[in-house]
Structure 1
Amino acid sequence: MGKAAIRIGTAMAALALAATGAPAVAGPQDAGGRAAPKTVAPLMGPRGVDALGHGRTLVTETGGTFSLVVERKHKPARVVPLGNLPTDFPPAISKGPHGTIYLLTGASGPPPEQRPSVLRGAAAPAPATTLFKWKRGWPAPKVVADISAYQKTDPDPWDQEGFPADSNPFGVLALDDGTVLVSDAAGNDLLRVWPKKGRIRTVARLMPRTVPVPAGLPDVPPPMGPLPPAGTPIVSEAVATSVTVGADGYWYVGELRGFPATPGTSQVWRIRPGSTNATCDPAHPRKGACKRYADGFTSITDLAAGPKGIYVLELSKKSWFAFEMGLPGAEEGGLFLVRDRGAMPRVRELAAGRLKNPGGVDVSDHVYVAGPLFGPGALLRLR
């Protein structure tokens, strides 16, 4: 379901907000006896994270706010508001060369008439699914590229829902050469944007995967239901939510996995830098410029890269759909470190049982996680 990420931004919000006041972490120690992640600063519905190092981290929050969190010795961290985007759900943020900060508005969130009428420093309302840029001293972010307009010229050839030109940009990463990578959850692809001209090229397209309907899902009311019996094979869209650059220079993309969001079917793809029109094919995962790096994850919302490997963040270990359906335990998310070990990467869970529906992760001198994705949350630092 290429619209899965849109659902995260709307239908699931009501469920998550019902848990107002719930902590971002579950307790003082994790399952292995280590200290739980430290709360750096409280935030409201945090999503995007870009760890700059030296205790400085960019974040986005529900309501469109983007800020700089500054850690201080023996004092609470400062959250310095930088500006606002014309959206209630800014999914990602990334700092590029020359102090330029790139941000996204996705397809998620309420219609414009239901948004707050006053946004501090907000740009004039632009189309949804837009890449913005901002620099210190600017009164508001400026439009770089309309992602949705591009997708109308480059529809998803494997769309399963009859909306091949849909767009919902969800992940962003500024490259050192000045271009910007954008993962489009509804378009099921990775795009590259040249900000000076607003030019866009498709880097890779993620093909759907046939997955079995998982057991244990409740009956779904119309118009979605009823669900097919457990075990029924369904062609499920990839839903590209996240992008990062590894220490090896390759580009990595993570999948949420569309309906029925079967656990263990989200993949991480490794794409040769500079590629155009590559195909990420789960039936032939070792061919071409896009190869499968790791498999077996569930509802990936973000990726980050560090010297130890690739960090994979899961919204819910039981899947985004299980969370949307209100299944017990579906609020538990996961963070995994994947180390390259040839054909079989080594995977280790971090902060097991301590993350609640996390939205973003990044790595500098520490590993930072933001969550829960909706409602009261925090920027967390792993010890």
Structure 2
Amino acid sequence: MSSSRTKALVALGGAFALVAAALMPAQAGTAVRQSADRSGQSSRLVTVTSDLTGPRGLAVISKRKAVVGQADGTISRVVKHPGMPATVTTLTHVPATFIAPAVARGRHHLIWILTAGGDPGTGAATLYKWKPGFTAPKVVADIGAFQQTDHDPFNLADDPGESDPYGVVALGRGALVADAAGNDLLKVNRHGRVQRVAALKPRTVAVPPGLPATDPESGQPIPPAGTMIPSEAVATSVTVGSDGFWYVGELRGFPATPGTSEVWRIKPGTRNAVCDPVHPNRGPCKRYLDGMTSIEDLAPAPHGRLYILELSKMSWLKMELGIAGSDVGGLFKVRRHHVIREMAKNKLTQPGGVDRRMDALFVTGPVFGPGKLFQFR
């Protein structure tokens, strides 16, 4: 496994920093993930282009056009007309971090660009904006600097001011940012003012079976299967649903127990809420869905429904450890009564991003190494 891949996953999940955390009583979750596709329908996954490297961020512009963030910080436009090969055009660049930037489509051809965590002063952990006519992306907000003054109140790791902004979605006059290390959702207005929308509390989970006794790289012990330990939320993803509510998805920190990633539904305009897995139905942040694994991205579906993208159906930690089959991710559509349908089952490897617009549904991946843009038809 490459060092960049390990760095990315450890940064996201806070991997082994939590092993020594104090044990806490278990709390029951509400697992509502029912099945893969039981409908008999099939989803055809078509490759739009293979000319991408480590693609993650994705903003669908139309049925034939999308904007993609690549591993080296390149922001590209992909255009595919029927009967013709796709064209990939560089729009702009942002500083490279350990993983490709996230992107979101705003009003009036504006593209929001979010770099992941990194050293201060490097352009990492920063929200940018760009549109045709700009000579370069413009800095809107330094998310890393904000988090140094707005610490995670439920932090389990070493630095409560750590920041790894990972997911972004446009609002009418600003953007929402999901910070994986800060375990929170932030709102950034068009002038760069940052406010906390909600903090996601840790959850007590059971160490899953199938992990080694020690971390192969650090040598740190991994607790035995069944041990109950606290695990950070790791907010990787955010979208605005077709119902107007704000949705946030969790990767889940170490030990990345499958079936413990949640999706939260937050009332627009909320400030300083708490998303609490012990009391998931209290306050303006309520649990929308439980029972997912290593959520990487979210996208809205019609009628208040949702698409959920899993980086690995076995968990990001098992993927980091190189366990066979753990590179397989999945795209799931949440339907009425929270019945979940998996689309293109077992055909996505390390998927990075999902977006939908005008009935056009696209996915990027693998998020590490040579990658592609896919479309569901």
Shift in Å, 1:184: 0.2
CA 1:164–1:6 in structure 2 vs 1: closer, same or farther (change >3 Å)? farther
Q: Is the contact between residue 192 and residue 200 of structure 1 (CA under 8 Å) also seen in structure 2?
A: yes
1:182 corresponds to which letter in structure 2?
V
Q: Which runs of 5+ in 2 are unaligned?
A: 13-38
| Residue in structure 2 matching 1:349, options 342, 352, 355 | 342
- 3-state DSSP of counterpart to 1:244: strand
Q: TM-score normalized by structure 2?
A: 0.86
- Give the structure 2 partner of residue 8 of structure 1: 8
1:166 corresponds to which letter in structure 2?
E
- Measured in 2, the distance between the counterparts of 1:6 and 1:96 equals 32
- Give the structure 1 partner of residue 190 of structure 2: 195
Residue 60, structure 1, aligned to residue 55, structure 2: no
- Give the structure 2 partner of residue 15 of structure 1: none
Q: Is the contact between residue 300 and residue 314 of structure 1 (CA under 8 Å) also seen in structure 2?
A: yes
Q: Is the contact between residue 36 and residue 354 of structure 1 (CA under 8 Å) also seen in structure 2?
A: no
- Measured in 1, the distance between the counterparts of 2:41 and 2:346 equals 12
Q: Deviations over 1:154-175 (max 9, x none)?
A: 1001110121100000001111
- Measured in 1, the distance between the counterparts of 2:41 and 2:270 equals 44
User: May I ask how many residue pairs the two structures share in their alignment?
Assistant: 342
Q: Which runs of 5+ in 1 are unaligned?
A: 13-30, 113-124
Q: Is the contact between residue 323 and residue 330 of structure 1 (CA under 8 Å) also seen in structure 2?
A: yes
Q: Is the contact between residue 181 and residue 190 of structure 1 (CA under 8 Å) also seen in structure 2?
A: yes
Q: Is the contact between residue 11 and residue 324 of structure 1 (CA under 8 Å) also seen in structure 2?
A: no
- Give the structure 1 partner of residue 109 of structure 2: 99
Q: Is the contact between residue 312 and residue 326 of structure 2 (CA under 8 Å) also seen in structure 1?
A: yes
- Measured in 2, the distance between the counterparts of 1:8 and 1:223 equals 15
- Measured in 2, the distance between the counterparts of 1:85 and 1:159 equals 29
Shift in Å, 1:139: 1.8
| Residue in structure 2 matching 1:210, options 198, 204, 211 | 204
| Residue in structure 2 matching 1:83, options 89, 92, 99 | 92
1:94 corresponds to which letter in structure 2?
A
- Measured in 1, the distance between the counterparts of 2:40 and 2:69 equals 31
- 3-state DSSP of counterpart to 1:303: strand
Identical amino acids, percent of aligned pairs? 53
Q: TM-score normalized by structure 1?
A: 0.85
- Measured in 1, the distance between the counterparts of 2:188 and 2:41 equals 44
Q: Deviations over 1:25-55 (max 9, x none)?
A: xxxxxx9794641000111111001112231
- Measured in 1, the distance between the counterparts of 2:93 and 2:355 equals 21
Shift in Å, 1:294: 0.5
Shift in Å, 1:79: 1.1
- Give the structure 2 partner of residue 70 of structure 1: 79
Q: Where in structure 2 are the equivalents of 1:132-281 lying within 5 Å?
A: 132-176=128-172, 178-196=173-191, 198-219=192-213, 220-221=215-216, 223=218, 225-281=220-276
- 3-state DSSP of counterpart to 1:98: coil
Q: Is the contact between residue 332 and residue 355 of structure 1 (CA under 8 Å) also seen in structure 2?
A: yes
- Measured in 2, the distance between the counterparts of 1:160 and 1:379 equals 36
- 3-state DSSP of counterpart to 1:97: coil
- Give the structure 1 partner of residue 28 of structure 2: none
2:353 corresponds to which letter in structure 1?
G
Q: Deviations over 1:327-348 (max 9, x none)?
A: 000010011111242xxx1211
CA RMSD of aligned residues (A): 2.1
- Measured in 2, the distance between the counterparts of 1:11 and 1:149 equals 17
Q: Deviations over 1:254-295 (max 9, x none)?
A: 000000000000000000000000110000011100000001
1:218 corresponds to which letter in structure 2?
P
